[in-house]
Amino acid sequence: MAQRLGAEFLGTFWLVFGGAGSAVFAATFIVPNVVAGQSVQLGIGFLGVALAFGLTVMTMAYAVGHISGAHFNPAVTIGVAVAKRFDWRDVPAYVGAQVAGGLVAGLAIWGIARGRAGFEATGNMAANGYGDNSPGGYGLVAVFVAEVLLTAVFLYVILGATDSRAPQGFAPIAIGLALTLIHLVSIPISNTSVNPARSTGVAFFNGDGAPAQLWVFWLAPIIGAAIAGATFHLITGLDRRDRDISGEIEPEDVPVPDHVDPDAPR
């Protein structure tokens, strides 16, 4: 368990640092062009930030997915537990490791960003929000619906891609691209959460109302993930509720040779 929690901490740290960090440091970057007498925009924009989030999940899923299952997200952990592909007794520890990883990443982003003269953390830490804190001015209901819907779709992709009958070795790519697409859709809506640990990791450093709105970015993703976990096998007909999300085979699924006592400890 210690190794699994370490993997979840590391993976969530990388997701928040790489994803939210790209928004803070690189989304908008203006370089003065002395020769032309005007500024040049070199920022990565929404597309770059969306790719950054997808790449963080994909790279860490390959790096440590075989250790912990690569959840990196409390909503994912709860969703796969609802789907009966993860043990409920391990949920609190996983969620704690993920939130801790997100907070350390937020601290790292804040600490580095302060190294630039004139940086003001308030309102500039890639926090999620609705109303005045939504990039596009979307209200509470719109943000809530978007977060529920997109998290549910994200869980459907995760549950399907990690099925043992799916193309092997490609699950991190599918999951990373799904998260990229989710961000392309919803950065203007809520700055995209679908991950309570990602939201928590930067909210308190951001201030500006983000901590007070944090409840939405816990409740909505968890509801979306729970819906997907409860309905995936009904919609798809793929009932793999005897398998851990990492794809590990349960002991009872392992064939027992004829010469071995089936009741002996394995």
State yes or no: pLDDT of 154 exceeds 70: yes
The reported pLDDT for the residue numbered 31 is: 72
pLDDT digits 0-9 by tens, 162-217: 887 888 889 999 999 999 999 999 999 999 999 999 999 999 999 989 999 999 99
Tens digit of each residue's pLDDT (9 = 90 or more) over 81-93: 999 999 999 999 9
pLDDT for residue 165:
80
CATH architecture of 2-247: Up-down Bundle (1.20)
Q: Do 110 and 121 touch, CB atoms closer than 8 A?
A: yes
pTM of structure: 0.85
| Residues in Cβ contact with 25 at an 8 Å cutoff, skipping those fewer than 6 apart | 109, 112, 113
Please tell me the predicted confidence (pLDDT) of residue 263.
Answer: 54
pLDDT given at position 20: 94
What confidence tens digit (pLDDT) does each residue in 56-82 have? Answer: 999 999 999 999 999 999 999 999 999
